[in-house]
Amino acid sequence: MEYSLSFPRDRRTIVVIGSSTGGARTLEVVFSQFPLVDAAVILVQHMPHSMNSALCRHIEEISFMDVRVPEDGEEIEHGKIYVAPSDVHLKLVENRKICLFNDEKVQYVRPSIDVAMMSLERRGSDRFAGVILSGMGSDGAEGISHIKSIGGTTFAQALRTCAIHYMPRAAFATGRVDQMLPPEGIRENIIRFAGIL
Amino acid sequence: MAEESSRRIMVVDDDVFILEVMEELLEPEGIGVVAAESGDACIAELTGGFRGVILMDIMMPHKDGWETIQEMIDRDLMGGNVIVMLTAKDVPDAELECLKEQVIDYITKPFEPDEIVALVKGYLNYLP
């Protein structure tokens, strides 16, 4: 008799975090002593190109995750944080492979949080969470709504804790944010959602 | 952690009082402060080789903070710097969103001394 596993071995758990102006302060709290979790984390932080490597290095220093700027075509793995490089958009192909591509800026930015989040698709038993942190504008609002529509879990930073509250406010206004949380709460909920590896 | 050589920041503000306060707050923490009283002075420091954390006032006469950043972009002086804006307003003008990729954070004046010290120490870790 043949048996099949209820959880396909290649199931992915993907957390996409969108962050902009003032979000780096929040990332410091979220990733401080952050354990090795059973998820691939995609971090889209609006920043100058010259900060990409330093941001990776610093998050790797304060967390237990592997942190890297991904290559085009790279397959995502759990236990890793992928920092979207500046000046190109990042999307996931079939929730598995990272695609970096040049295109027009979306809402003044590249990489766009919306582009990354909107690329996730309902597929097998893959699980998703979307998180919006401090920032100007409304990047990520459409993406959060999409993640909710495909069965994901959504968080945004509590407005009173933001350096700039426009992005979390825009996400909240979609009505598709499950919880508005302070940085410590976002950290706890990502860990709980992903589980420890 | 940032190396000792990079534990230096530039404060760009036409208010000399702010420059003095920053020195009083940061130098006891081992962080050297380069004071620039205008956007032009900031550009001169960058041309002279300064790279590091820059606390930039938005409202300055002749050349404001945004114009200074635009000149940094035009003259290829952005690389290696982490820019935090100082503003007297609660939130920045939405129409300046187009430069948001260049600015990592905002501090609203009046600021808490502890907040400034923690923020500067944190962003020294983000230097290349």
Q: How many CA atoms lie within 13 A of B122 on its CB side?
A: 20
Assigned token pair, B115: 């907040």
Question: Among the listed ranges A1-10, A164-173, B34-43, which one has the minimum average pLDDT value?
Answer: A1-10
CB A37 within 8 A of CB A195: yes
pLDDT at B4: 44
Query: In what side-by-side order are the strands of the sheet with A153-157?
Result: A66-68, A80-83, A40-45, A13-19, A127-132, A153-157, A179-181
| pLDDT at position A26 | 96
Q: How many domains, in total, are found in chain A?
A: 1
A20 CB within 8 Å of a chain B CB: yes
The answer to whether the CB atoms of A28 and B78 lie below 8 A apart is no
The confidence score (pLDDT) of residue A71 equals 97
**Which tens digits make up the pLDDT trace of B89-115?**
666 666 567 777 889 998 888 888 898
Q: ipTM greater than 0.95, yes or no?
A: no
End-to-end CA distance of chain A: 31
**Residue A139 appears among annotated catalytic residues:** yes
A88 within domain boundaries: yes
| Residues of chain A contacting residue B93, judged by C-beta atoms under 8 Å apart | none
Query: Which CATH number fits the domain that encloses residue A140?
Result: 3.40.50.180
What pLDDT is stored for residue B16 in this prediction?
94
For chain A positions 63-92, those within 8 Å of chain B (CB to CB) are 86
pLDDT-derived band of residue B87, with 50, 70 and 90 as boundaries? confident
* Under 8 Å between Cβ of B113 and B25: yes
pLDDT at residue A185 in the model: 98
Rg (CA), chain A: 16
State the pLDDT confidence band at B5, using cuts at 50, 70 and 90: very low
For residue A182, what are the domain limits?
Answer: 13-194
Q: Do B123 and A50 touch (CB under 8 A)?
A: no
Name the residue with tokens 């404001």: B64
Closest Cα in chain A, distance from residue B3 (Å): 12
Distance between terminal CA atoms of chain B? 11
Asked whether residue A8 is domain-assigned, the answer is no
Among the partner-chain residues B78, B122, B123, the one whose CB lies closest to the CB of A48 is: B78
CATH number of the domain enclosing B71: 3.40.50.2300
Residue A56 lies in a domain: yes
State how many domains chain B has.
1
SS3 state of residue A1: coil
pLDDT digits (tens, 9 = 90+) for B48-68: 999 999 999 988 999 999 999
Strands A97-101 and A89-93: antiparallel
**What tokens appear for B77 in the block?**
């002086």
* Predicted confidence (pLDDT) per residue in A99-153, tens digit: 999 999 998 899 999 999 999 999 999 999 999 999 989 999 999 999 999 999 9
Mapped onto helix, strand or coil, the DSSP state of residue A2 is: coil
Cα–Cα distance, A6 to A142 (Å, whole number): 32
The residue range of the domain holding B91 is 4-124
Which helix (H) or strand (E) is B38 found in, with range? Answer: none
DSSP letter for B59, please.
Answer: -
Binary contact (A54, B126; C-beta < 8 A)? yes
Please tell me the total number of residues recorded for chain A in this structure: 197
A74-93 average pLDDT score: 97
Chain A contacts in chain B segment 78-117 (CB below 8 A): 78-83, 91-92, 94, 97-98, 100-106
Q: Residues of B with CB below 8 A from A110's CB?
A: 101
Angle between helix axes B39-47 and B65-74 (nearest 10 degrees) is 30
- Cβ(B72)–Cβ(B78) below 8 Å: yes
Q: Does A2 have pLDDT greater than 60?
A: no
What global pTM score does this model have?
A: 0.90
